[in-house]
């Protein structure tokens, strides 16, 4: 019985080993794990994969739902060529493990049609070899350009919408242009274009937009619409490369539709979420209010569950109680004048001008901040509001709500 049990354990372990899955991910699929191509097991411990059009770099994964485990190379032995020696792969099984480098496929400047790669798993060692492929010069292959965003299956480059030449102009038709997006080349992230670094402006109908590309290896910010509160259905865009190298994107036409979404106030006081506790309620046309038992410290105002963010008018601006502020699109966290003070029974009012993309906020409270210790409140203490600012009057002395004596 003991021998039978041992045999069963050994067979179970063998099945577990053979049941392992391996996938190839890389520039050929936009480094999207969901598009990684599975290796087929051809015999015990031996796997093969065929990639229709392979170039650049890649890695081997053990899943398509994340980056662990992953297998790459360490050191200079990082290139596999047709008929060349195998590369030994190093595993990364945990976040704390060192990151292995990418595997380079073939010669620089060349791509491979119907590329076959072989993976051999022997105990703890995994090796990869480049078996065969039809080599071609990448410079002879015409470049293609695509628009990619959440509307292309969550930034999936394989589903990115390609610009096609129409009457000599590169043109793309997007059924629902919304959120943020980028322009990429050859369905890869190696070359990409986004928000203009100088203007930080959004894309408006009929206005040619000069995009920014990578700078010193840093990716540009995502593109966005000039009016972030909605989307354009049946949008037509054109792309042009100017003689000076500028990449110019133009939103030619489309039907604007206001996005139906909630306003939220994530921050330190209410939590950095977009749940019921942080949600504004509509009280009239374009006016929203949120009641908070306690409020203070820093926050942001967001529309559509972080789809659109508003923050401090300037990085230096700090908010005070009972004052109105015009928030900045993509602004930084809005800090209180003194983060030690918490206000009670607050009404937070938001007034939104959707057409002109203007959001105003007022945090209102008639109670003293809980952290004020320098002002002694007695029966003779009264509160007054003058020019929208609350003051505490005690005898012939006047204090701000922060406890600073002004008279």
Q: What percentage of the chain carries pLDDT values higher than 90?
A: 68
pLDDT in tens, 295-336: 999 999 999 888 788 999 999 999 999 999 999 988 999 999
Give the pLDDT mean for 236-262: 95
Class of 2-139 in CATH: mainly beta
The pTM score is 0.56
Is residue 326 a contact partner of residue 360, using CB atoms and an 8 Å limit? Answer: yes
What digits encode the pLDDT tens for the residues 152-171?
Answer: 988 889 899 999 999 999 99
CA–CA separation, 224 and 228 (whole Å): 7
DSSP string, 310-365: EE-SSTT-EE-TT-EEEPEET---BEES-TT-EEEEEEEEEEEETTTTEEEEEEE-
Phi-psi region of 11 (alpha: psi -120 to 50; beta: other; left: phi over 0): alpha
Segment (H or E) for 205: none
Percent pLDDT > 70 in the chain is 85
What is the chain's length? 407
Give the up-direction half-sphere exposure of residue 388: CA atoms within 13 A in the CB hemisphere: 8
The terminus-to-terminus CA distance of the chain in angstroms comes to 95
């Amino acid at each position: 019985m003991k021998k039978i049990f041992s045999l069963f354990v050994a067979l179970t372990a063998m099945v577990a080993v053979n049941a392992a899955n391996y996938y190839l991910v890389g520039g050929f699929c936009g480094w999207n794990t969901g598009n990684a191509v599975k290796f087929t097991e051809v015999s015990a411990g031996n796997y093969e994969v065929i990639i229709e059009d392979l170039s650049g770099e890649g890695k081997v994964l053990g899943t398509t739902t994340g980056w662990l485990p992953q297998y790459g190379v360490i050191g200079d032995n990082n290139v596999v060529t047709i008929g060349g020696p195998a590369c030994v792969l190093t595993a990364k099984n945990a976040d704390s493990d060192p990151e292995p480098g990418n595997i380079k496929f073939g010669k620089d400047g060349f791509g491979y049609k119907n590329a076959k790669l072989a993976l051999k798993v022997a105990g703890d060692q995994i090796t990869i070899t480049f078996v065969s492929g039809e080599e071609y010069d990448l410079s002879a292959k015409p470049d293609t350009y695509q628009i990619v965003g959440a509307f292309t299956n969550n930034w999936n480059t394989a589903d990115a919408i390609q610009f096609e030449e129409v009457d000599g102009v590169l043109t793309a038709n997007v059924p629902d242009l919304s959120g943020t997006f980028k322009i990429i080349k050859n369905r890869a992230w190696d070359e990409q274009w986004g928000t203009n670094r100088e203007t930080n402006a959004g894309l408006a109908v009929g206005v040619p937009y000069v995009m920014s590309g990578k700078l010193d290896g840093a990716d540009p910010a995502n593109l966005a619409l000039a009016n972030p509160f909605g989307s354009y259905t049946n949008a037509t865009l054109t792309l042009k490369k100017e003689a000076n190298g500028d990449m110019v994107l133009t939103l030619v036409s489309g039907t604007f539709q206001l996005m139906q979404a909630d306003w939220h106030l994530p921050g330190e006081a209410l939590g950095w979420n977009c749940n019921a506790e942080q949600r504004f309620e509509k009280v009239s046309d374009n006016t929203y209010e949120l009641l908070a038992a306690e409020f203070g410290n820093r926050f942001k105002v967001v529309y559509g569950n972080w789809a659109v963010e508003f923050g401090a008018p300037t990085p230096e601006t700090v908010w005070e109680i009972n004052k109105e502020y015009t928030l900045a699109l993509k602004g930084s966290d809005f800090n209180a004048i003194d983060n030690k003070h918490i206000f009670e029974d607050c009404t937070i009012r938001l007034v939104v001008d959707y057409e002109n993309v203007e959001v105003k906020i007022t945090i209102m409270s008639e109670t003293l901040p809980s952290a004020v210790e320098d002002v002694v409140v007695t029966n003779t203490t009264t509160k007054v509001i003058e020019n929208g600012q609350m003051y505490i009057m005690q005898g012939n002395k006047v204090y701000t709500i922060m406890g600073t004596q002004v008279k």
